[in-house]
Structures are given as C-alpha cells and as structure tokens.
Amino acid sequence: MVTRVGGRHAGQGGKRGDLTGPSPVDRGKPGSKIHAMSERGGIPLSIVISAANRNDHLTFEAVIDEVAPVAGPLGRPRRRPHKLHADKGYDYPACRKTLRRRGIIARIARRGIESAKRLGRHRYVIERTLEWVSRFRRLARRYERKAAHFLGFTRLACAVICYRRAVKLDLLTHNNPK
C-alpha cells in the first residue's frame, strides 16, 4: 500500500475555538488545517485537525498513528503502509525517524535539493482527496467552535467519500448480483 500525506487550510470566519490559530494564507484570520493521509487511489485513511499556524511536521506522527488496520486476504490485518509519499513540508529528521521506526519506506522530497515538479503526480492524489473533503459545504469554512465537532463532520465526509468510491467501483456486496 502506498500512501500520501498533506494538509489544507479551512477558514473559520472570525470564530474562536479549539485548534484554531492565525492562518498564514488568509491574512491572519483564525482557522484550522486538515491533515490527511490517503491511499494510492485517493481514499482517505486518516484525518487530523490542527491550528492553521502549526507546521505540518508537528502533526505527522498523529496522522500516521490514525490509520486503521487494513484487512487483507489472509493473516493479520496490515496496520501500516509499505511506502509513504510526502512533500517538502515533512522533510525533517523527526518525520523520517518516525517512518523508520514503523518500517515504512519514506519518499519525502528534500528541501533545497529536489524540485517540486518531480513530486507532482504523487501530490495530485492527496490534493484531490482534500478537495473532495472540502466540497462538503460544512467543511469549506469552519463553523463549529469545538474541534471535536469539526473533526466529526470531517470524518463523516470521509466515510461518504469512501462509500461513493465503493459504489462507483461496484465493491459493495449488496449491490453486486454475483
């Protein structure tokens, strides 16, 4: 399993609450950031919320630990992905050490060495996943004061995304006449 990690800002529109901070991309308005991890096809595996002014690498371990076990054909369920692609925001020794400890191969672009163009095809997947999440009007802008409520709506959106993807790929057993 190959995964991607990324983050996107969700504006808050003047409200204060849990896990908010001045957004670096929206004139310092308070907001939150959605950190997500998806599989190769863009299906979200884990979602974590943080303040908008918090660096991505500080929530990296929480995103990795949120992944639920993935059922395989036989044997124990696989808990961790085989490889993980991430952009330059995660190029810190602590992130690489976290992946090494868990036996995951790190594919992280290095700051100042690798160009952003090379990561494009891998970055597209997580950007598409975050765009699917932000299509839900409730998540495009944060209305909830409590971070737990916002996280609940975000996880509900991910469940709907997974369901829609399963219907599109005809993976549901009750829809499959075979």
Q: Mind listing the pLDDT tens digit for each residue in 124-151?
A: 888 888 889 888 888 877 788 888 888 9
Residues sharing a CB contact under 8 Å with residue 128, sequence separation 6 or more, in sequence order: 42
Q: What is the mean pLDDT of the chain?
A: 79
What CA–CA distance (Å, rounded) separates 10 from 175? 35
Sign of CA dihedral 176, 126, 56, 11: negative
| Position 176 pLDDT exceeds 60 | no
Contact 84, 66 (CB under 8 A): no
What CA–CA distance (Å, rounded) separates 102 from 80? 8
Pairing of strands 44-51, 105-108: unpaired
